[in-house]
Structure 1
Amino acid sequence: MADDAAMDFLQDLVSEVEESVSAVEPFTVNIFTAMILERLEEAGHFDETFPVYQTGHYKDRRGRNVAYRIDGYAYDEERGRLDLFTTLYSGDRDAARIPAAEVTKALERALRFASACVDGLAASLEPANTDASDLARLIEAEAERLTAVRVVLLSDGTMGNITPPVEWKGKPLKFEAYDITRLFRVLGKGETREDIAVDLVALAGRGLQCLHVPAQNDDYDAYLSVLPGKVLSQVYERYGVRLLELNVRAFLGLQGRKSVNAELRETIVKKPTMFLAYNNGIVATVDDLEVGQGAYGLEIRSLRGLQIVNGGQTTASLHRAGRKDSDLEHVSVPVKIIKVGGADLSEMVSAISRAANRQNTVQLADFSANDPFHQQVEVLANTTWLSDGKGRWFYERARGAYLAAEHKAAYRKSDETTFRQQTPKHRRLSKLDVARYLSAWSGLPDKVCLGGQKNFQYFMQRLKDEPLPPPDQPWFRRLIAIAVLYRAAEKKIRSMKFPAYGAQIAAYLVAGLSHRSGGRIDFEGIWSRQTITTEMEQLIADWAPQIDTILRESAGQKNPSEWFKKPDCWKTVRDRLPSFVDPLPQEFSYAENGTAGEMMGSGEARSVVDYERIARCMEVTGATWLEVAERGQKAGIIHYRVASICRTLAGYAVGGWEKKPTVKQAKPALEALSAVDRAGLVNLGSQLARVGEEAEA
């Protein structure tokens, strides 16, 4: 690894690991694993990864005492695929080559863990409620349904090729290595479309017959062909959303009669031979392709820089159907391949997307870093300075942007010092971070638990369905305040050393704080301090064990990590959240003044009673609030302005309380509720047992 940039990447990575060592996590191998998994997930290589360090011995079926070890895992329930991560980290700065024997040993140890799980390892793991024990139970329960197992080696060294076993307990086995060379290519300089190379002869057993349409100018060449559905699915399996880098779209799903892709699935499953006739196919661009004369004429043998610019839904639908319903043996897909010559690639892709026949009218989430929302956030990060005027946050809109900016600053010592003082690593913010923090604060911790990439998809889809006003500086300060709170919660929870599910506890705790407070907190105060108060830290410490208990009890006999991803889990937790108690931390006891006071202002400080009123309002159904407004105003019991507040709360209730009552709304609304109840105009039943208390107050 002689490349200077690659060596710089290694130095920076080792330094970052060493800087992250603390009393909470003293082991560099665990820090390296967590860091790399998070960034590979951000790069779109994996979904829902979890660092889990577990090592030990067990007696195999031959009575031998054998060692096992894993450092993390990912389980795709839909595909039935299990990924086991194992790490070889030395902390050396010379990219030492790892002997093949050591690589093989790491691979075998990870496979032994899976074998031990099938043989009942979970029963012997102590304590019984850790991430490792839950994973062991998951593997034991799902072993028969697994479609494939993949062992992934993470390392700061370099390695050569290795030939692993082809199967594990009758399941196809794959082995992937992310050594420092590949990590640099993916996370350092960033993989580009040029890294996507498709050998069609190897995949299909032959080249693809094609019709060449020569260009009338130097802008492009076109090739028309038919791609076997199985081959397209395999290519998508290998490269995933990176195939859609220039036109990334969220997969809308195949389930349900109303799904925009339901007809695709119907054709794939019931009439596979008709797919070519019914489907418009895909349009793709390539940087280069190899063509030659075959037995039946001109054929395409390989593609480089493949990008699907129209037909992402078709591609994803085929891949999913191939996993769940069909072997795709009789599915053929029409394809138009554009080899871009002198034309501007981005302009051509945009034109193709506009002109191509749209198969549905649903707006799809665009993950691209070029999305206007992300561009606006980047501008705000670059122009919004901290209260001291000396520092700011760095928004990494494009993968590797922070590293590139750091290297650019390093050309001059003074610039390097300034960059690190203004934007230290702990103030780096990625797109996945933004999606995680805002989703949790919006009451969607179940989506956060889906993992970085999937949560990001949902986040972007919500932006398309419910566009936000253009982000401004107050919005950005609010975002950073939530980020500071979320990271403080994560840090505190890590220090408490829960045996499992620290990340999930953090997501649900932050969502719980937002729900209990009505989504309002002293954002400006947190922004100004860039930290939370000791009282707030203590509140997090008090809540964390309670959230952990509620999560575990709500899971019952279900697999916890899968249960935490369900909306019903959040509903259960939301109904059992701990209550606020006096004295409130400064973050919650701040005063508000008018609409601007939604962030901070002067006036009467909030109290526990205020938050209890908000909670009581959210115990009432939307139908009841509407009934209170209509009957109370008609009978002259409540003022028309109060009736308007009740109607507003009815709308909040219908929206699942994503928007929450303000302090100024809650008090008159509850008084109105009490008044119509006393008048016998509305039968509350058991909806709000403490309404009488509010009336007396």
Structure 2
Amino acid sequence: MDMSRFSEEYTNQLERMHGNAQAAIYHVFEELLTDRGLVSEPEFFLPPNEFDIVGGLADTRRGEFALIAAVDAAEGTMLDFDTIEAANEKASRFLEGCTSYSPSPSNNLDVLHDAFVRASSSVDLVPNTTLILLTPGRVGGSSKERARTLDLRTEIMDLDEFLQVSEHSLLNIMFSELGQPPQVIHARNDADDHEVFMGVVSGITLAKLYERFGIPLLDGNVRHFLGQVGPNRGIAETLEENPEHFCSYNNGITMVAEEATISGNAIMSASGASIVNGGQTTVSIFNAHRKGVDLTKVSVPIKFIHLTVSHPVGKKNLLEAISRFSNMQSKVNDADRMVNMAPHPELQEVSQKERVFSGGNGWYYERRRGEVRTKELTMGKNQFRAWSQQFRPEHVISASEIGIAWNAWWGTPHNGASGKNKGFLHYHNELTMRLARRSWDAEVHHKKTIGLAKLYYFGKDHMANEFSGLRSATLPHVLGWLSHLMDNQFDLIALWQQEELPDVVKEAFKILAGPVDRTIRNFQDDDQKQWAKSANCTETIRALPVPDEFPKDRLPRMSTGQDIQGDPADFLMGIGATKLWVMYRWGKDNQVINLNRGMITSILKNTISRNRRPSPKQASVILTVWHSCIANGFDPDRDYPEYSR
């Protein structure tokens, strides 16, 4: 069943990518790249090219540098280390050429080449870049470990990674080889199948642990409950600015091991080890270590669980339970909380009703990443097969991804181009405002979402096959321009009513795609992807001449209403200064608002309290705090006399 699961996904992606095998491999692994924390928002680059590169990014703002290469192989074939070294040498050669803005050897890689050239002025590229190899083949654990020691550090995503075959049982850790062993004390525990120890591990030891073992160390993480991917700015800032406070500020890690040697208060060795909670902390500390940040004052809280149950099935079930519940009970970021807030649970429930199906097909609203995979693991085989026939993989709507599309459609494609996290925040803000205004119908919204998803997924494939390297920047702006040219009256319900996307809609998208790509690709004053995140980019594209062949009169149009975003400033003015101050005092008292208090109070004092509209940036700050407080228990409909003044 597992092998056929890969084959089915690969065949689907191969069709989408017009037979391009390397492009199909990238898209098979695309979601796993971010789920595993290897890279936050990778960009796809259309192969072939002489370096076998299919993706990457060079983001100096986030300190994130990665190349992604595809090694084609028969499914399940074992790859030798010579193959890995050859791929590593090609990628190293690409980086060696990133010393000037002279044309890159491959036009498809021009954008990536220029991004690394810009980065090279402040960063030594090879020691700060990770190469990620994608392959349908298999790579042995020792080869994966050896690949991490190459000058260009290499992580490998193979068939076992796709199938989520755990390798943690292969990890034998000798902490004495990494630095100071974790210092722990035995905690009281009445269970007879495991022991619990609490303590601290040095930041240097943890960094070297991940340096040696890489992603298999995090195999115990349940993807369903992963929080923010990519570099965590809060963790990075604490490591650099307040390293001695890291132990107090951070929740730490939970490590589970099948065997352990503990001498005195020190964990000397562990086998079958896995970090089941705190993967983001681990990766962030490794990234800081790699950048040369001094970690000598950093201590990380650790909960160490030694499994004493001997039965293999019992051991596996206990590991999964510990992983799942430790992640559920951990503090998660605001975006993770938002998916549990109205209206997202209702949208997910509505998406499973047959009356909102399109052409007999269900479109499932996956509000939290990895939910479908969790269904596969927890449902019976026949039950999941029946479910997946109703909701095919290509009809799963990711909340974070559709947030990008809706931002573009409502008139702010620059917010959509800012990535999934920021895009989802703006998407959630808009839905919250619509709920508050009672201008909301979950079924109508989901029907429109299906129509928009059909257009978005078509556009995603079209941009991947026809253009290279700027899809995350250009796709939102094509959607935004299309909606703008239709006066925000394009009828998405008409797309929901049809099983397939009409040819005239495909034609309209293709006509606009070229001018948008040229405009963004030819921008020279800054990084093109950064410019795409600005309102100036949106205004520039709206000012482009409309192509004569654009079929405006043949596209479906709503008879009334417009799909446009509300004004967050108006929303906050409607809440009023009194309620916002109550929220602020509640949040401060309940330790929800710990940072930027001065900025928050300044905004409230100088805008809403004086009956002045906050700027978009100021409104975003207050809305973020508003959502964060609600996510932590603040009830906007309740009176709080203790916080009223």
Q: When the two structures are superposed, what TM-score results if normalisation uses the length of structure 2?
A: 0.68
Question: Is residue 2:447 matched to residue 1:477?
Answer: yes
Contact 2:253-2:303 within 8 A present in 1 as well? yes
- Aligned equivalents of 2:372, 2:433: Cα separation in 1: 28
Structure 1: how far apart are the matches of 2:292 and 2:139?
A: 38
Q: What's the offset of the Cα at 1:455?
A: 5.1
Residue 156 of structure 1: aligned partner: 136
Greater RCO (CA < 8 Å, at least 6 residues apart): 2
Specify which of 173, 176, 183 is matched with residue 152 of structure 2. 173
Whole-Å separation in 2 of the counterparts to 1:139 and 1:156: 28
Match of 1:41 among 34, 41, 47: 34
Counterpart of 1:29?
22
**Which of 100, 103, 114 is 2:84 aligned to?**
103
Q: Pick the aligned partner of 1:205 from 179, 185, 204.
A: 179
Q: Secondary structure at the match of 1:473?
A: helix
Aligned residues: 553
- Secondary structure (helix, strand or coil) at the match of 1:511 reads helix
Report the Cα distance in structure 2 between the residues aligned to 1:387 and 1:313, rounded to whole angstroms: 37
Corresponding letter in the other structure for 1:223:
F
CA-CA distance at 1:80 after TM superposition: 4.0
Q: Does the C-alpha gap of structure 1 residues 430 and 254 become closer, same or farther in structure 2, counting only changes over 3 Å?
A: closer
Q: Of 532, 540, 551, which aligns to 1:573?
A: 540
Q: 1:50 to 1:404 in 2, by over 3 A?
A: same
Map 1:646-657; keep pairs closer than 5 Å: none
The 3 A distance-change label for structure 1 pair 285 and 196 is farther
Contact 1:218 1:341 in 2 (8 A): yes
RMSD of aligned alpha carbons? 5.1
Residue 180 of structure 1 aligns to which amino acid in structure 2?
A: L
Contact 1:484 1:530 in 2 (8 A): no
1:89 matched residue in structure 2: 72
Q: Provide the rounded CA distance (Å) in 2 between the counterparts of 1:327 and 1:199.
A: 24
Identify if the C-alpha distance between structure 1 residues 43 and 133 changes in structure 2 by more than 3 Å, giving closer, same or farther. same
The one-letter code of the counterpart of 1:326 is: V
Cα distance in 2 between the residues matched to 1:101 and 1:284:
35
Which of 416, 435, 439 is 2:403 aligned to?
Answer: 435
Is the 2:460–2:471 Cα contact (8 Å) retained in structure 1?
A: yes
Partner of 2:297: 330
Measured after TM superposition, the shift of residue 366 of structure 1 is 1.1
User: 2-side partners of 1:519 and 1:388: how far apart?
Assistant: 22
The 3 A distance-change label for structure 1 pair 202 and 33 is farther
How far does residue 476 in structure 1 lie from its aligned partner after superposition?
1.0
Cα shift readout 1:223-254 (whole Å, capped 9, x = no counterpart): 23222123445667855898696865549999
Residue number in structure 2 paired with 1:692: none
Q: Which amino acid aligns with 2:183?
A: Q
SS at match of 1:482: helix
Instruction: Look up the match of 1:505.
Output: 474
Are 2:503 and 1:545 equivalent residues in the alignment? no
Pick closer, same or farther for the CA change 1:79–1:380 going to 2, 3 Å: same
1:183 paired with 2:154, answer no
Distance 2:552 2:228 in 1: 42
The separation in 2 between residues aligned to 1:242 and 1:78, in whole angstroms, is 30
Structure 1 residue 537 displacement after superposition: 3.4
- SS in structure 1 of the partner of residue 70 of structure 2: strand
Kindly indicate whether residue 557 of structure 2 is the aligned counterpart of residue 589 of structure 1. Answer: yes
The percentage of counterpart residues that share the same residue type is: 18
Question: Displacement, 1:179?
Answer: 2.1
Is 2:111 the partner of 1:134? yes
Q: Secondary structure at the match of 1:215?
A: coil
1:381 aligns with 2:351: yes
Alpha-carbon deviation of 1:550? Answer: 3.1
Q: Does 1:215 align with 2:186?
A: no
Please name the residue that 2:44 is paired with.
Answer: 51
Residues 602-623 of structure 1, C-alpha deviations (whole Å, 9 max, x = no match): xxxxxxxxxxxx99x99xx99x
Question: What secondary structure is seen at the aligned counterpart in 2 of 1:13?
Answer: helix
Q: Is the 8 A contact 1:369 1:375 kept in 2?
A: yes
CA contact (8 A) 1:369 1:398 kept: no
Whole-angstrom CA distance in 1 between matches of 2:69 and 2:613: 47
Q: State whether residues 183 and 201 of structure 2, in contact with CA within 8 Å, keep that contact through their aligned partners in structure 1.
A: no
Give the whole-Å Cα distance in 1 for the aligned partners of 2:60 and 2:373.
Answer: 34
What CA distance in whole angstroms lies between the structure 2 residues aligned with 1:407 and 1:349?
A: 18
Answer whether contact 1:533 1:586 (CA < 8 A) is retained: no
CA distance in structure 1 between the aligned counterparts of 2:7 and 2:361, rounded to whole angstroms? 25
Report the Cα offset of residue 363 of structure 1: 7.0
Structure 1 Cα separation of the partners of residues 359 and 251 of structure 2: 51
Question: In the alignment, is residue 561 of structure 1 matched against residue 529 of structure 2?
Answer: yes
Shift of 1:505: 1.9
Evaluate the alpha carbon distance shift between residue 578 and residue 173 of structure 1 in structure 2; reply closer, same or farther with a 3 A threshold. Answer: same
Aligned equivalents of 2:335, 2:253: Cα separation in 1: 20
Alignment of 1:291-690 (within 5 A): 291-294=260-263, 297-299=265-267, 301-302=269-270, 304-308=273-277, 326-337=293-304, 345=322, 349=326, 364-366=334-336, 375-385=345-355, 390-396=360-366, 399=370, 401=372, 422-451=390-419, 454=421, 458=425, 462=429, 472-493=442-463, 497-498=466-467, 500-517=469-486, 519-553=488-522, 555-564=523-532, 566-573=533-540, 576=543, 584-585=552-553, 587=555, 589-592=557-560
Rounded Cα–Cα distance in structure 2 between residues aligned with 1:69 and 1:461 = 38
Aligned equivalents of 2:484, 2:613: Cα separation in 1: 13
SS of 1:485 mapped into structure 2: helix
Q: Give 1 or 2 for the bigger CA radius of gyration.
A: 1
Residues 208 and 363 (structure 1 numbering): CA distance in 2 closer, same or farther, change over 3 Å?
closer
Please give the alpha-carbon distance, in whole angstroms, between the structure 2 residues aligned to 1:203 and 1:459: 47
The verdict on how the C-alpha distance between 1:444 and 1:318 changes in structure 2, with shifts beyond 3 A counting, is farther
Aligned counterpart in structure 1 of residue 202 of structure 2, from 215, 228, 231: 228
CA distance in 2, matches of 1:47, 1:378: 25
State TM-score, norm by structure 1.
0.64
Q: Which moved more, 1:486-495 or 1:579-588?
A: 579-588
